[in-house]
Amino acid sequence: MSDSMSDSITYRRFTLDDIAAAHALTVELKWPHRADDWRFVAQLGVGFVAEDASGVIGTALCWKYGADRASLGMVIVSPARQGRGIGRKLMECVLAELAGRVTFLHATPAGQPLYERLGFRAAGTLDQHQGAAFQPPLVSLPPGERLRPLGSSDTARLVELASRASGLDRGEVLPALMSAADGIALDRDGELVGFALFRRFGRGFAIGPVVAPASHDASRAKALISHWLALNEGVFVRIDTPGDSGLTEWLEQLGLPRVDTVVKMVRSEADVGSDASHANTVASASTAAAHATCLQYGIINQAIL
């Protein structure tokens, strides 16, 4: 790469006017995101683009949660421009914006080496399931528990449950998701203890997030998921589940095969420049905190939203 080629690339803030160009990048990479999916995630966060004389050739977005947590995603470089350090520069722009926050991302195999060089460490996996030829079962709930429609008065409780399940402050994200989704609640003797959202995404619809109290057989999460599958037989549906959720085999038996697995990664300032054993300890602690009370399933997109 010549100096002149390198100098012709500029980096700036992502704006909503960049959505068409960003969507074209995902189409080029065969990612499922619609322009509306881009608009949704862009409005919730901030980001950067790389551009040259041809237009936008790379993107990276990030989302802040509370005072000290964040996630990032939609890190894309046009295949024709890869290998020039553009992805690393975009990541550096995002990390400077996040200013030392503990940061999570989902890494594809192609992106994982770059993220490791920037101080991210593996903290689990995420399995992507999708399909339309599924057969939803009837899942029984324990006595005293039932599914019911979500109401407007449930918002504060949903934010609380989602924040506890993910380890992230969901005060801004959950209301936005609810405005774009249908929802079902898990009620135990009048107390809301879990929920699942269902919304348009990519080729069809996405289930998630799903938040439910942990159990040995994940029966409550299965009941929430089965509710949406039963209402949408023959519709293309995607759901992403943590690799340790215990749901992968069950979803495949229903007719929702696992089509991809990505690595969940975490970075904090303590990780950068530290030895691998310390970094892995930090990552494990972050993962344990996220699962302390509930389990969260169904994180949609390449970012934690």
- Nearest-angstrom CA–CA distance, 223 and 227: 6
How many residues are given for the chain? 305
Triad 107, 14, 299: Cα angle to 5°: 35
Provide the pLDDT confidence category of residue 20 given band limits of 50, 70 and 90: very high
- Nearest-angstrom CA–CA distance, 215 and 222: 11
Q: Which amino acid is at 267?
A: R
From 165-169, 237-241, 288-292, the region with the lowest mean pLDDT: 288-292
Q: What is the mean pLDDT of the chain?
A: 88
**For residue 94, is pLDDT > 50?**
yes
Provide the pLDDT confidence category of residue 294 given band limits of 50, 70 and 90: very low
From 80-84, 107-111, 205-209, 286-290, the region with the lowest mean pLDDT: 286-290
What confidence score (pLDDT) does residue 149 get? 96
What are the backbone angles phi and psi of residue 218, rounded to the nearest 5°? 55, 30
Q: Provide the percentage of residues in the chain whose pLDDT is more than 90.
A: 79
- Nearest-angstrom CA–CA distance, 229 and 200: 14
Task: For the full predicted model, state whether its pTM sits above 0.75.
Answer: yes
**Taking residues 166-170, what's their average pLDDT?**
93
**Taking residues 24-28, what's their average pLDDT?**
96
Provide the pLDDT confidence category of residue 133 given band limits of 50, 70 and 90: confident
Between 12 and 301, the higher pLDDT residue? 12
* Residue ranges of domains in the chain, CATH in brackets: 3-99 (3.40.630.30), 129-260 (3.40.630.30)
